[in-house]
Structure 1
């Protein structure tokens, strides 16, 4: 599955447009991770645990996006973007949500133009 942030691909033509496709992943850190993150934040340290979780969640969202596009019959996703947010699922359990979205398409090579001899 090819995933592009651009709206078109040079040398390729959209043969079929399947519409918008999403890949969403929601995660939270465990109690130990949250506690260590709070201690690090108190001293102004880098939030490496949170950074790792966000990177993994982003990669999973892209993977899910590709799988969902493939299930529609697409071979590519164009104009891929991310959206993210946090929400409290109750009892102070903060959840991180990342959504990757774009347009699922089937791309084919654009025929080369031939010039008469």
Structure 2
């Protein structure tokens, strides 16, 4: 399954457009990560716990989007975009969406 933020794929033709597909995950902050982050706020540096949390969240949302695309017969998702929103205090949704298409071989 090809997943790209491009609107077209060079050298490939879109045979069929199947519609919008999406994937999301809602994650809450972890107390241990909050404690480590508070120290980083004082001394500076990357918040590795949050970086890992966001990477895992993005991957999970992408896998859910790909599964939805596969279920309708797509072999690619084009024009992929990400969005985040706060759902509750300490919890956020990571949302990914794109256009499911069938590319010619």
TM-score by length of 1: 0.79
Residues 10 and 52 from structure 1, CA distance in 2 versus in 1: closer, same or farther, beyond 3 angstroms? same
Equivalent residue for 1:98, pick from 87, 94, 104: 94
| Cα offset, 1:9, TM superposition | 1.3
| Cα offset, 1:64, TM superposition | 1.2
Residues 97 and 39 from structure 1, CA distance in 2 versus in 1: closer, same or farther, beyond 3 angstroms? same
> How many angstroms apart in 2 are the aligned matches of 1:19 and 1:55?
26
Are 1:49 and 2:49 matched, yes or no? yes
What SS class does the counterpart of residue 68 from structure 1 fall into?
Answer: helix
| Cα offset, 1:11, TM superposition | 2.4
**Residue of structure 2 equivalent to 1:38:** 38
Structure 1 ranges of 4+ moved more than 6 A: none
In the alignment of these two chains, the number of paired residues is 105
| Cα offset, 1:32, TM superposition | 1.8
Output one character per residue of 1:56-110: Cα deviation in whole Å (capped at 9) or x when no partner. Answer: 1111111111111111111100101111233324xxxx1132111100011113x
| Cα offset, 1:49, TM superposition | 0.7
Mapping of residues 1-117 of structure 1, within 5 Å: 1-89=1-89, 94-109=90-105
| Cα offset, 1:4, TM superposition | 1.4
> How many angstroms apart in 2 are the aligned matches of 1:61 and 1:13?
26
> How many angstroms apart in 1 are the aligned matches of 2:88 and 2:38?
16
Structure with max Cα Rg: 1
**Root mean square deviation, CA, Å:** 1.6
